[in-house]
Structure 1
Amino acid sequence: MNKFLRALNSFWLVSLLPILISFALAIYLYRLKFGGELSSDSSDWSNFGSYIGGVFGPLVSFVTLLAVLKTVYLQRELLDTQRDEFKSMQDLQKATFDSQQEALKQAAEMARQDQYHRTLEHLLSMIDRHSVLYGNIVGRLSQSLDVMANWAFEGKPVREEHLVKLAAKNERHKRTLTNLTMLAIDLSQSNFASIEELRVFYRLEMQKIFAAESVKDESDSEQSVRAGQAAAVDSGE
């Protein structure tokens, strides 16, 4: 707006200068032609007024027309400038909005990744607990089988069906332990689309692993270990 006013004022200043020069030149030529003294006759003044009006009327009208055209041009430039500034402001606001949306998406993705890794760590810890449990069971069964095998080698009485049952349970638990280890590897190396997909995969795979493992089987395993130890003690006595 200030630029518009400065340009308009400069135009008027430049326009008034030739008008003043023309006015001075017209007075000089009039006095040169008709004399330089003031007349007391009203008709002379009337003729002088007609002369001034005839000289300056078209000039002033022309300058006024130029001023109107200049004003319209400057207003159009002002409108174009305002439109460009408004568009620049809109572009800046859009860029700011897009950057904020991108920052929100990144924050949401980081939160999802963090929750995903926490869920994965929790599931891996659950698998590790099961692995430790079955590792202990396999260790006890293997120890009992070794003791009973030594007794059989030494000729001590050992019930063969009990030894076969313990060996079968031990092999089944070893397979379960191996499957748990493979499941932990699969969970660590696979990329799941969502946490729910991760949990569903974990639940289905655990169901498959423990399909052959019932509560009764686990109880039998513990009882078999204790029975084997008791039989070993009886044979030693």
Structure 2
Amino acid sequence: MGNVNNKRNWSFCMRWLLAILGILGVIAILTIPTFYYYLKFHNSFMLRNFLAKLSDDPAIWGTFGDYLGGTLNPIISFLAFIGLLYTIRQQAQEMKATRDELERTAEQQSRQSEIFNLQQFESTFFSLLEQYNKIVETLVKNVDEINKYNRTHNSIDSFINEIYEKYSEIYQSNVCNNQIKINFYIANNIQQNLELKRYFIVLFQILKLISLNLSNDTYGNTNNKISIEDYLSDDEKSREKIGNLYINPQEKIYSNILRSFIPNEILKLIALNCLSINSKTFNNFQGLLNRYNFLEHLQLGMEDTILPVKHHDDFIWLYLTTIGIDNITPSFGNNKLPTKMVELFNESKSRFISILNDQSNKLKRRIETLKGQPNMNTNKKVRDIESELEKTIKILETLQNM
């Protein structure tokens, strides 16, 4: 602003200076001939001593006037042209200064608009965050009821159920105790719980709000801006677009604030909610989790040595590794949990296959023994054992093909 004012003051002074010089020039042009005329025809002293040799012939004076006019006209025209160029230059500078001022005004208005939009966003964000915290409080109060294991539910995929039951049978684990806080009942029935469903809806809307309002590219690339149209479909393409676009640092600030409110137990539920063996998909939700590395702080109490599935952490990593987490791997960020899960699963799978082979051999030997003692009771036992053997072989084949 100081430079603009200085330029304006300098231009104002120059205009006044040129105006004064122009007026003085006009006065000189009018005064000098008049002065000479007076001296020639009315002042006897000057006439006698200095101007006696000047001609009295009007024709000569006319010729002299033409000469003087012919000489002064180009000079005056040139000076007028210079003045015109200067005026044009001054107008151009004024227009440039005006444009600069308008640009600064527009930029200031844009910043004010951004501040206003950010204030509106923060108002909505913290309002939703308040609702979110209330839901979390409700979930914490009802966590025992939500996570209670119920064997009468048959909603879990049969393959996972058989693996879990086989682990329990082989290691004689007490899988129905209160240590199971998150289990495979929630894995497929999480949407049936109204509080959990409400929780994930609010969480998704908060993350969506962040992406829609703060995804502006600081380098001006408008293609990186997430729009509402990106959420109209819920498929792999939308997941990839939402998860892989440029992330404005401001987005991370608010997503990290939200993530800091989430307990580790809820992070486990988020992971289970977004992955499913059946036809249910949450591609846009997965994209948002990937975008903000939302599971980066997820912790599972996995041991360095393979142990039987005794608690929910063991089940969760087994479940996630079994169904595959490729869709949400970016959501773990710098968390090494996915790599560790794969390593432990491969080791556990090898150990489990070995145990199932031993179990299968025992069942086969038992069948052969019972067949050597044919009677009605043994026939029923043989059928039961053969059924058990068939399940064991099926699990073995499935594991070996993974």
TM-score w.r.t. the length of structure 1 is 0.47
Task: From the CA coordinates, give the structure whose radius of gyration is larger.
Answer: 1
**Looking at both structures, which has the greater relative contact order when contacts are Cα pairs under 8 Å and sequence separation is at least 6?**
1
Larger relative helix fraction:
1
